[in-house]
Amino acid sequence: MCHIGTTPVNLVTLTGSKTCTLTMRNDTVGRCTVNWHRNGAVVDISCQTPQSLAMPTETMNIALPDVMRDYVARRVESGQYGNTSEYVRDLIRKDQQEQGLARLRSMLMDGLASGPAD
């Protein structure tokens, strides 16, 4: 069940991006941003657990060419991301996942190249 404030929200009837508190079995799981299509289909659910909410954050400034800055602004304006920081965090998470998969592939190739186990 998703709540905005203390009001339960029917996920099927909403469109756009909403931030809500996700609860399961009466326990708060975390704060979530849920993105919907116009037809009510859930497109993306991005949640922060209490552990990630408690993680210390530090501001980081980056310099971008106008073209890239405008692109980021359009991605945020599309409603898929609540703000620029959410977009950048999503890119970093995707890069971390990609790097982990690359490492796994490398280890698998090393294992195959080592020949059969004795």
Q: From CA 34, how far away is CA 29, in angstroms rounded?
A: 14
DSSP code of residue 47? E
Over pLDDT 70: what percentage of the chain? Answer: 53
Residues 9 and 48 in one domain: yes
Distance CA 86, CA 72 (A): 11
0.85 surpassed by pTM: no
What pLDDT does 116 receive? 82
| Residue numbers of the domain that contains 76 | 57-118
Q: Which of 55, 75, 93 is the last residue of a domain?
A: 55
41 shares its domain with 61: no
Whether the predicted pLDDT of 52 surpasses 60: no
Average pLDDT score, the chain: 71
42 in the same domain as 20: yes
Q: Looking at the structure, tell me whether residues 51 and 1 fall in a common domain.
A: yes
Q: Which residues pair with 31 in a beta bridge?
A: 21, 48
Highest mean pLDDT among 3-12, 21-30, 90-99: 90-99
Contact in structure between 52 and 30 (CB atoms under 8 Å): yes
Nearest to 44 by CA among 6, 93, 5, 7: 93
User: Whose structure tokens read 């090393």?
Assistant: 110
Please tell me the total count of domains within the chain.
Answer: 2
Residues 99 and 68 in one domain: yes
- Between 36 and 116, name the one with better pLDDT: 116
Q: Give the position of tokens 């037809």.
A: 39
* Pairwise pLDDT comparison (107 vs 9), residue with the higher score: 107
Between 3 and 103, whose confidence is greater? 103
Task: Tell me the mean pLDDT in the region 85-106.
Answer: 90
